Amino acid sequence: MKLKSSQLCELIGIAILLASAAAQLFYLEPLKREIEWRLATFSTQQSAQVQTSAMFENHLSVLALMNAPPEQVKKAEARRDEILGQFKTADANISDFMIEKERVESYIEVIVIALFAFGSLLAGIGRMIEMQARPD
């Protein structure tokens, strides 16, 4: 069985369409989900950071009202700085991930759209050639 050029063009076009759909399903969608999950985690983390900061401010205020020894106040301040420092490290890690992945995601989206358009064009051209070659 010998394939005509129009049939080969259609076949290649359909293969490219399938490749673009596969890239969308197996790479872009999971990447988008991961980004959304990290954004949700980041939001939760930001809320926890604000609550933790408020909790330590309240704790320090209570210590000041009770005229606590200075070493106890310094210990509480050191603990506050340590915990809030962990939040800042996590903020930096999430932002680095987001900056890296969002750039990759936008490039892959453009590639998927181009593949889809090129595949559709090839399949259409193949069909048009076949229809023109058919006797009336």
The domain locations on the chain are 5-133
Angstrom distances, CA of residue 110 to CA of 34, 47, 60: 19, 35, 53
Tokens linked to 10: 């259609």
Q: Which of 16-25, 72-81, 100-109 has the lowest mean pLDDT?
A: 100-109
d(CA 81, CA 101) in angstroms, rounded, equals 30
Mean pLDDT of 72-78: 92
- The DSSP call for residue 1 is -
pLDDT mean over 7-13: 83
Q: In the prediction, which pLDDT does 3 show? A: 67
pLDDT at position 9 over 70:
yes
What is the pLDDT, as a whole number, of residue 75?
93
- In the predicted structure, residue 99 carries a pLDDT above the cut 90: no
Q: 73 near 60, Cβ under 8 Å? A: yes
118 pLDDT exceeds 70? yes
Question: What mean pLDDT is predicted for residues 61-74?
Answer: 90
pLDDT at position 1 is 56
Q: Rounded to two decimals, what is the model's pTM? A: 0.62
Q: What is the pLDDT of residues 37-67, one digit of tens each?
A: 888 888 888 888 889 889 999 999 998 899 9
28 or 135: which leads in pLDDT: 28
Weakest mean pLDDT among 8-12, 60-64, 79-83: 8-12
